[in-house]
Structure 1
Amino acid sequence: MSAQTPGAAPETTRIHNIGYRNYDGARLGRAYARRSLFVQSLRGAYGLGRSAKSKIMPMILLAVMCLPALIIVAVAVTTKLKQLPLDYTEYAIFLQPVISLYLASQAPQSVSRDLRFKTVPLYFSRPIERVDYVLAKYGAMASALFILTVLPLVILYVGALLAELDFADQTAGFGQALVSVILLSLLFGGIGLVLAALTPRRGFGVAAIIGTLTITSVAVTVIQEIARESDSTGVIQWFGLFSPSSLIDGVQSTFLGADSGFPGQIGPDTGVGVIYLLVVAALIAGSYAVLMRRYGKAGL
């Protein structure tokens, strides 16, 4: 509005065009927002796009996961072994403590900060809904774990072919382990996110994940060993239902032809193996349902 000179007659009001205009570009919608959140969360799980300090832990753990595979390949190539000293399906179970440590370090950073700084409602103020947020975070965490567990398997597979081991046997073993680590990534990712999402405190989330995965794994192994020593071998397979790592062990030994990691290699029979598979599916679905319920409240 034009300024009025003192003593002068009132002027007619004027509206000036200062150049603003409506946005007329493409509206990318929920799918784009969900995909962007997934990519950002996956990159963040390895410290990409974050500070150099944030990259140290995930990259060290990724290197630790790959180091035994590199050593095995070097030994197989130089000594002309007829088979790998460690089966593909055994690798992730053998390095389960490293996987648990990675999950404990990255799951809380994926969700706890959003809860602590109350940024979840900001996500939901855009064209993104609760289901999009949960799917993006769950998918990113499972994908990050899949990268962590499949990369050593790829190293083993390529090394086995370089060592001129039987192509059919190595391909079959690699395929079985691929199915196993997919299940492991979904199961561990869901459990880790649920525990991390229960509290906005990152430290509490780390402790909860490490405690849950470590205590259950150690307790089940000890109880199974006691059962074997007391000749109660029939109950060994049932105790495996109480640990995420032993659940994956039971599924792959029943359906994927893997050797059981239970004491005395006493894996579940086919009937109990079906129960193992159903429990794994229930835990994955249950983790998703709990996250949906958790973020139904967090988004208010």
Structure 2
Amino acid sequence: MSTETGAAAGTDAGGTRIHNIGYRSYDGPRLGRAYARRSLFSQSLRGSFGLGRSARSKVLPMLLFGVMCLVAAIIVAVAVTVPNTTDLPMKYTSFAIFLQAVIGLFIAAQAPQSVSRDLRFKSVPLYFSRPIERVDYVMAKFAAMASALFVLTGMPLVILYVGALLGKFDFGHQTKGFGQGLVSVALLSVLFAGLGLVMAALTPRRGFGVAAVVAVLTISYGAVSTVQAIAWETGSSDAVPWLGLFSPITLIDGVQTAFLGASSAFPGGQGPGAGAGVVYLIVVLALVAGSYAVLMRRYRRVGL
């Protein structure tokens, strides 16, 4: 039976008709892995601030970003209006340490949003089908979260710096402090992004991911600070710098105290010296590298 006869018979028998819907092969440019990686990075970075998502998704990240910038603006206003003031009341390197609760809340809310939904809806294998690969996915998510944190922590420093210059404070001193602050928050952003994504990627349930991130970033800081205060009050001051190795935010505090001329928030202002600072830096770099390795292993299991 010919094709025409078969089609006619099928139409007469069942009232159906086969149409040629015109599928054609794609002849345009193949943009490849690099384009896919950039697109995933851009989408993840925008999503960290709720851009391209519902209005409700924008509320918390934008509110936290506004709080960070508002605190910086208030500091500038105080410094400019108080007579005979020659410097900002807070160092650039101290800003993120004192606002670490806001930063922790941001990463706790946005890290699960970045990775948990892909795990929950099992869309990761679709990413890995082609042309993107596991390393592209992990790198894009890691870079996007670190960039979002850098925007969150770096913009207030820009406000402080611009305000200080408008207040006609010493240009060289302010520029040096601003540069040290940017280095500090860049290191903080990479460390917090890695730890936050690891905690969030361990479970597809967003609530569990939020709790895990809060425990690692915020509760650990409270526990370490309490133990440090006890050690200081009981005369074990030598142990204070070494206890700072057990919390992400105190790790950043130790690194910037040892190498960036920052004032330590440890009890008694007793931060690590240069020797202990090397240990702090090694631990930070090890945690960043370890976070990347854990993410790579995690997505090997949930890939194809």
TM-score (norm 1): 0.94
2:197 to 193, 196, 200: 193
Partner of 1:160: 164
Q: Who is 2:206 aligned against?
A: 202
In the alignment, is residue 84 of structure 1 matched against residue 84 of structure 2?
Answer: no
Q: Aligned-pair distance for 1:230?
A: 1.2
Q: Secondary structure at the match of 2:4?
A: coil
Give 1:78 deviation, angstroms: 2.1
The secondary structure found in structure 1 opposite 2:204 is coil
**Does residue 21 of the first structure (1) align with residue 7 of the second (2)?**
no
Is 1:286 equivalent to 2:290 in the alignment? yes
Deviation of residue 209 (structure 1)?
Answer: 0.7
**How far does residue 95 in structure 1 lie from its aligned partner after superposition?**
0.2
- Percentage of identical aligned residues: 69
Deviation at residue 70 of structure 1 after TM alignment: 0.6
Work out which of the residue numbers 41, 65, 68 in structure 2 matches 1:65. 68
**Equivalent-residue separation in structure 2 for 1:18 and 1:201 (angstroms):** 41
Partners in 1 of 2:216 and 2:182 — Cα distance? 25
1:46 is matched with 49
Q: Distance in 1 between matches of 2:183 and 2:170?
A: 21
Using the size of structure 2 for normalisation, the TM-score is 0.93
- Cα distance, 1:23 vs structure 2: 1.6
CA shift for structure 1 position 90 = 0.1
Which has the larger displacement, 48-57 or 218-227?
218-227
Name the CA distance, whole Å, in 2 between partners of 1:101 and 1:212.
12
Instruction: Give the drift of 1:68.
Output: 1.0
Pair 1:256-2:260 in alignment: yes
Query: How far does the alpha carbon of each residue in 1:46-69 deviate from its partner, in whole angstroms, 9 at most, with x for none?
Result: 000000000000000001111111
Give the Cα separation in 1 of the matches to 2:23 and 2:274: 69
**How many residues are treated as equivalent by the alignment?**
291
Deviation at 1:21, TM superposition (A): 3.5
Identify the residue that residue 239 of structure 1 maps to in structure 2.
243
What is aligned with 1:30?
A: 33
* Aligned-residue CA RMSD (Å): 1.5
Which residue identity is paired with 2:294? V
**Unaligned stretches of 5+ residues in structure 1:** 7-15
Report the residue type matching 2:72 in the other structure. A
Note the C-alpha offset of 1:18: 7.0
Q: CA deviation at 1:19?
A: 5.1
Q: Secondary structure at the residue paired with 1:112?
A: helix
Q: Aligned partners of 2:24 and 2:236: how far apart in 1?
A: 78
Q: Which runs of 5+ in 2 are unaligned?
A: 10-18
Which amino acid in the other structure matches residue 70 of structure 1?
A: A
